[in-house]
Amino acid sequence: MIKPHGSNQLTPLYVQDDARRAQLLKDAEGLPSLLVSSAAAANAVMMGGGYFNPLTGYMDLADALSVAENMHTTKGLFWPVPIVNMVKSPPPAGAKRIALRDPNVEGNPVIAIQDVEKAEAVSEDQLGHMVEKIFRTQDPKHPGVAAFTSVGRTLVSGPIVVLSHSYFATDFPSTYRTAYQIRAEMEKLGWQKVVAFQTRNPMHRAHEELCRMAHKDVGADGILIHMLLGKLKPGDIPADVRDAAIRTMVDLYFPKGTVLITGYGFDMLYAGPREAVLHAVFRQNTGCTHLIVGRDHAGVGSYYGPFDAQAIFDREVPKGALAIQIYKADNTAWSKKLGRVVMMRDAPDHKPEDFINLSGTKVREMLSKGEDLPPEFSRPECAKILMKYYQSLPQ
């Protein structure tokens, strides 16, 4: 199986020993507390699960700036986005160890314990520079920019031990999996070559066929459908609805034993190219050998070109920085001429009207009105699940 990023073995930061975890939770009650942002909590969950291997904690300002500037820490580790704990109020002066509290769970339980190495003020210029490099814009209307700039200006760095998977393990018990759990499952299945599909949306026929194409083209043993379970922007479909629709599709239309449906606990960044590289890093940590990167991967609005998330791997990711390979996909849609889903680049004789391709707005409109989607666009069983959700919303 492919090696993790930056090390020979995965080093998840979640304390798996029940007795030690219970003792640390008891110790945490006597420590100064810090209510962290949703983004920082998600970073802890990802480090806890081994997804952010080989990181041992939150980056300091020098590393955050270096990663934003050139995708390397000051010690040379390749990493695409800063993994930070930024807060509005610094920890108590002199505090060497603090309990980090989860903003996304009732009662704000302790999610991790952090050794405080530094608490550094981030200037407006430094923040703006990081934002520009990560998101390629400083537009406050960009949801990722808005989230990154709203959490405070004090960067608290240092190693952590993770004591909780937040709400992900309890709210999504059948779907949430750590990187080390996914590795173990793929090893049990005997999968050596695995293609990962990232999604924050339901999967229509085009996505389904894209997974099949990639599976066949790379000669994979299996497919990891890996969905984001954390916070999204308003208007995106909730994780439980996506989960139900995807499971229905896989159960009915994929051969048994060829697909793992899992999810990870992270908030969407909408950082386009940089986030695509982050997706590659943590899919490598799950053991996947290939990641499908399609049109406008991890994008939002018109902030990125349609294939910028593919181009970054050729132009900015140093050769050998990652072991995982990228499967570059074009837009896929049902061809009326050929009677099947194709990548548009493979049908140069087609005109736009030769494809069945609905916009997200049109899909939402049809489902809200109770209108069936074309079976060439969406599996009827999946469309019914989405229709039920849309019809439950206030009209």
SS3 57: strand
Task: Catalytic residue, from 21, 200, 212, 295: name it.
Answer: 200
360 band by pLDDT with thresholds 50, 70 and 90: confident
Which burial class, exposed, middle or buried, applies to 32 when counting CB atoms under 10 A from its CB (0-12, 13-18, 19+)? Answer: middle
Structure tokens at 273: 């190219």
Is residue 68 domain-resident? Answer: yes
pLDDT tens, 235-266? 889 999 999 999 999 999 999 999 999 999 99
Alpha carbons 123 and 112: distance in angstroms, whole number: 27
Residues 319, 235, single domain; the answer is yes
Query: Number of folded domains in the chain?
Result: 2
Please state the pTM of the whole predicted model.
0.96
Q: What does the alpha-carbon distance between residue 314 and residue 325 come to, in Å, rounded to a whole number?
A: 11
* Domain coverage including residue 250: 172-264+270-392
- 6 assigned to some structural domain: no
Separation CA 182–CA 12 (nearest Å): 13
Select from 131, 166, 201 the last residue of a domain: 166
The CATH number linked to 159 is: 3.10.400.10
Q: Is residue 1 part of a domain?
A: no
Residues 212 and 308 occupy one common structural domain: yes
Candidate list 21, 97, 201, 295, residue with the active-site label = 201
Residue 11 lies in a domain: no
Q: Which helix (H) or strand (E) holds 55?
A: none
pLDDT > 70: percent of the chain: 100
**Do residue 159 and residue 257 come from a single domain?**
no
Quick check: is 5 in a domain?
A: no
- pLDDT(232) > 90: no
159 lies in the same domain as 195: no
254 and 368: one domain? yes
Instruction: Kindly report, residue by residue over 51-93, the tens digit of the pLDDT.
Output: 999 999 999 999 999 999 999 999 999 999 999 999 999 999 9
228 and 91, same structural domain?
no
Q: How confident is the model over 366-380, as pLDDT tens digits?
A: 999 999 999 999 999
Do 161 and 179 lie in a common domain? no
**Average pLDDT estimate for 341-353:** 96
Does residue 395 surpass a pLDDT of 80?
no
Percent of the chain whose pLDDT exceeds 90: 96
pLDDT tens by residue, 182-220: 999 999 999 999 999 999 999 999 999 999 999 999 999
- Which of 166, 190, 222 lies at the terminal end of a domain, its last residue? 166
| CB-CB contact of 171 with 118 (8 Å) | no
> How many CB atoms neighbour CB 26 within 10 A?
9
185, 156: one domain: no
CATH code, 195: 3.40.50.620
User: Has 200 been annotated as catalytic?
Assistant: yes
331 belongs to the catalytic site: no
> In this structure, is residue 111 part of a structural domain?
yes
Choose one of 104, 134, 166: the last residue of a domain.
Answer: 166
